């Protein structure tokens, strides 16, 4: 396992270097002058030149990149142009905490609903009871609707129904249960649709294997066959989907955070690009990219925990 982890960490190094270069070039090529943003429209040419010299903006782009990379390795990620606070402090303040809570609760709801619906749908294929057939068709219809609905439309519909008409829940903010319900439900519904389809298709395929028929022939109950034998092999593609979704949400659910006015990483990246706060935007994108690499490594580890026969290579 230690060799496996070391190999994954070494594989992540070139990925992060590529991300740092891509983000640097993307922001470097954007129109706008960071010195002008910092000093304002009334700054003189001499003041702008002195600040550009201080920030190293007069150097060629490749020298700027390597200087920036060297400072990042030393832990100096710069300062936010807008607030003047260190970039890492700005990122790991309450904004990251809000995004992490939103991603964790949304992924938990997605996994619970998707697995429950997928298992019921897959086992319904083996039963002749009309009730189970109708339940399978209902879940298929719901998952199709969940994947087809845009997130912004679903969020606005939830706000209109449960916040404006019924007045049960709050529309904006994050921190109290009334504020958390709607954004978590929005993410849970959209993600559960995909998890349901993946679980259903994978489990139906596994239930048709020879070793499942052998388990039934031994007299094992349906519950033991599904949860102890079939589900473990069927979970591999589901773990991939859940892990990727959690990684994407950690990178900032921009639509969700915007609709429900949540101060998270996604909104911070969007706002920092809008006001040309390049150090903060670059730092936030790099942090979320690193978190995504970490989540993918954890998904690989989960593969081995779910099924030890999977080759670590």
pLDDT in the model for residue 313: 47
pLDDT in the model for residue 1: 64
Of 29, 63, 89, the residue that ends a domain is 89
Q: Is residue 312 in a domain?
A: no
Indicate if the pLDDT at residue 312 is higher than 50. Answer: no
Domain shared by 138 and 218, yes or no: yes
pLDDT in the model for residue 310: 55
Range of the domain at 219: 94-306
Of the ranges 33-37, 39-43, 106-110, 296-300, which is most confident? 106-110
Residue 185 belongs to a domain with what CATH number? 1.10.3720.10
pLDDT in the model for residue 213: 83
Q: Is residue 145 in a domain?
A: yes
State the average pLDDT over residues 182-210.
88
Based on the structure, what is the number of domains in the chain?
2
Of 40, 62, 89, the residue that ends a domain is 89
Domain shared by 10 and 23, yes or no: yes
Of 65, 89, 113, the residue that ends a domain is 89
Task: State the chain's mean pLDDT as an integer.
Answer: 83
Domain shared by 24 and 110, yes or no: no
Indicate if the pLDDT at residue 211 is higher than 50. Answer: yes
Residue showing tokens 């904006």: 172
Indicate if the pLDDT at residue 138 is higher than 60. Answer: yes
- Full-model pTM: 0.80
State the average pLDDT over residues 40-54.
80
Domain shared by 205 and 250, yes or no: yes
Q: Is residue 38 in a domain?
A: yes
């Amino acid at each position: 396992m230690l060799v496996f982890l070391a190999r994954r960490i070494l594989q992540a190094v070139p990925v992060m270097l590529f991300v740092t270069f891509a983000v640097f070039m993307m922001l470097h090529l954007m129109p706008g002058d960071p010195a002008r943003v910092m000093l304002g429209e009334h700054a003189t040419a001499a003041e702008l030149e002195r600040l550009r010299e201080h920030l190293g903006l007069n150097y060629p782009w490749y020298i700027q990149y390597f200087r920036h990379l060297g400072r990042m390795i030393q832990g100096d990620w710069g300062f936010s142009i807008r607030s003047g606070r260190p970039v890492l402090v700005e990122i790991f303040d309450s904004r990251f905490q809000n995004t992490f809570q939103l991603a964790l609760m949304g992924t938990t709801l997605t996994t619970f609903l998707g697995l429950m619906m997928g298992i019921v749908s897959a086992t319904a294929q083996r039963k002749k009871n009309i009730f189970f057939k109708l339940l399978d068709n209902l879940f298929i219809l719901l998952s199709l609707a969940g994947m087809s609905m845009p997130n912004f439309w679903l969020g606005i519909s939830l706000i209109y129904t449960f916040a404006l008409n019924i007045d049960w829940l709050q529309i904006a903010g994050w921190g109290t249960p009334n504020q958390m319900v709607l954004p978590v439900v929005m993410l849970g519904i959209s993600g559960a649709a995909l998890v349901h389809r993946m679980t259903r298709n994978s489990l139906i395929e596994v239930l048709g294997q020879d070793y499942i028929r052998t388990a039934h022939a031994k007299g094992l109950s349906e519950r033991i066959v599904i949860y102890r034998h079939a589900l473990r092999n069927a979970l591999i593609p589901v773990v991939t989907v859940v892990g990727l979704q959690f990684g994407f949400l950690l990178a900032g659910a921009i639509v969700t955070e915007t609709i429900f006015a949540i101060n998270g990483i996604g909104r911070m990246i969007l706002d920092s690009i809008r006001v040309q706060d390049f150090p903060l935007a670059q730092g936030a994108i790099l942090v979320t990219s690193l978190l995504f690499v970490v989540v993918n490594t954890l998904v690989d580890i989960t593969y081995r925990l779910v099924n030890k026969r999977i080759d670590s290579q």
